[in-house]
Amino acid sequence: MSPRLCRLSSLAALALVSAGAARQDAASVLGDVARALGAAELRTVQYSGSGFAYAFAQNYRPDVPYPKFHATYSRAIDYERGLSREETVRTQFESPPRGGGGQPLYREARAAAVSGESSGWSAGAVALTPHGFVRAAMRANPTVSARRVGGRDLTVMAFTARDRYRVEGFINAQHLVERIETRTANPILGDMPIETTFAEYREFGGVRFPTRIALRQGGFPTLEITVSDVRPNAALDLQAPAGGGAPARAEGHRIGEGVWYLAGTPEPNSQLVEFRDYTVLIESSVTEARALANLAEARRLVPNKPVLYHVNSHHHGDHAAGLRAFVAEGVTVVTHERNRRFYEQTVLKNPHTLAPDALAQKPRPARWVWVDDRYGMSDGVRMLELYHVPNGHTANLLMGYIRQEKLLIITDIFNDFGEARPNDPPPGLVSPYYAALGDRVRQLKLDVERIAPSHGKGTVPAEMLWKALQGKVQAPPVK
């Protein structure tokens, strides 16, 4: 054998030995963590606590943290079936309120989420909990490495979940999982980071469980709780979530001359305005699929005119998730100038490799119209007036007004009162968000007869706003 071949053979043998040692090290580390946590004895768990919850993607400005709420929290996990149910009860924290998330809350806001192996990869995945991490790593082919974090040496165990998502667990000298990091696909933020930290482990029935849990998504906190009750191997009756979901749809009905309301699922809804040579779509939606459904419906309703402009009311997750779809279709986006840095540097530039969307598959430059206080679109017959609305919900909210129809198009800070909501003020009180809308309408001296809220089913009389500003409108009773 030549010296060169001998060297190559030695290197190959060394690589095989190193790989085998790494696998052995991973198995050893995993065994230590499993014993420290009592993972082998834990089949189910039910835990609860209190602290703070934050409304994801509902911040007042794109560069500030999400709105903060008092919260009680409980979670039930079936590790063997890979099922989880989270329940959160939020009450108002910020005063004055800033941002979305249903603020201001006048009563408790309850939410529950069930996830399983068939659910989308998110912070609710069982593998992103300490004991679930151990089980997932045992099924994978994990690697281990040493990393110095915050002046301390930690062991990092990494593996790939669901053939796509890289998961890293940071393990301390006591063989406890301190942090788990991964990424998930988000229509606005792209390959979005998720980071959960675990601290102050205590023993509960032979199982060690963290009593401080903190979650960050997209760079900002979304949950901070102190765990007060842990019940290992509790009897649970968790049902797997239904797979899939209703397909996105949009169905337009005429609400004025050359104006349609595009209702459908998922909300929010959109409005279409026709001009001599083109059309304008107001609002994108909470998903790319709904944005594409809106575009298809606009082209069906007005087949001989292109959708040239999309009016994006503000940056919140349920109103900007379709933004990239409009860019991919070559539609010019009209939005407030305070969104410029976020949209250009984050929404358009962040990688979308985990779930490539239309723009990732068909890149093209974006076209923008940046609005400050007001902007008008007209063909000499019909005019769509856009105005900035100073309010506590978001710093960059735009509303639309069509003078010929005396129609106001608004989202979030006014709804159609079709169902009871936790942010419906009790009799005699006026929501500060309603008040901000009323102030702006009066300041601009707009003659409004009807309002088209994007969260609703169509138009409502403007009288509802004036009554609400007197504390006289009551939502339907809570069921």
Q: What is the pLDDT of residue 284?
A: 78
228/255 same-domain check: no
Residues 6+ apart with CB under 8 A from 30: 134, 137, 138, 142, 157
198/319 same-domain check: no
Q: How many domains, in total, are found in the chain?
A: 2
Burial of 171 (0-12, 13-18, 19+ CB in 10 A): buried
Distance CA 465, CA 274 (A): 26
The answer to the question of residue 207 being in a domain is: yes
pLDDT in tens, 436-473: 999 999 999 999 999 999 998 899 999 999 998 988 76
The domain of 424 spans 249-468
The residues facing 192 across adjacent strands are 184
Whether residue 24 has pLDDT greater than 70: no
Residue percentage of the chain with pLDDT more than 90: 83
Q: What is the pLDDT of residue 304?
A: 95
- 264 vs 11, higher pLDDT: 264
Q: What is the pLDDT of residue 94?
A: 96
Binned at pLDDT 50, 70 and 90, residue 235 comes out as very high
For the segment 271-291, the average pLDDT, to the nearest whole number, is 94
pLDDT in tens, 56-79: 999 999 999 999 999 999 999 999
The residues facing 141 across adjacent strands are none
User: Of the candidates 135, 258, 259, 122, which has an alpha carbon nearest to the alpha carbon of residue 182?
Assistant: 122
pLDDT in tens, 197-219: 999 999 999 999 999 999 999 99
User: Of the candidates 78, 70, 83, which has an alpha carbon nearest to the alpha carbon of residue 113?
Assistant: 83
Q: What is the pLDDT of residue 465?
A: 93
pLDDT in tens, 173-183: 999 999 999 99
CATH of the domain at 312: 3.60.15.10
277/214 same-domain check: no
H or E segment to which residue 6 belongs = helix 3-37
228/253 same-domain check: no
Per-residue DSSP letters for 368-416?
A: EEEESSEEEEE-SS-EEEEEE---SS-TT-EEEEETTTTEEEE-SSS--
Whether residue 163 has pLDDT greater than 80: yes
Q: What is the pLDDT of residue 475?
A: 54
Whether residue 11 has pLDDT greater than 50: no
Check if the beta carbon of residue 66 is closer than 8 Å to that of residue 160. Answer: no
282/228 same-domain check: no
For the segment 250-256, the average pLDDT, to the nearest whole number, is 96
The three state secondary structure string of 37-58 is HCHHHCCEEEEEEEEEEECCCC
Tell me the pTM: 0.92
Mark which of 175, 198, 232 sits at the end of a domain.
232
The answer to the question of residue 8 being in a domain is: no
Q: What is the pLDDT of residue 479?
A: 40
Q: What is the pLDDT of residue 478?
A: 40
Distance CA 192, CA 177 (A): 22
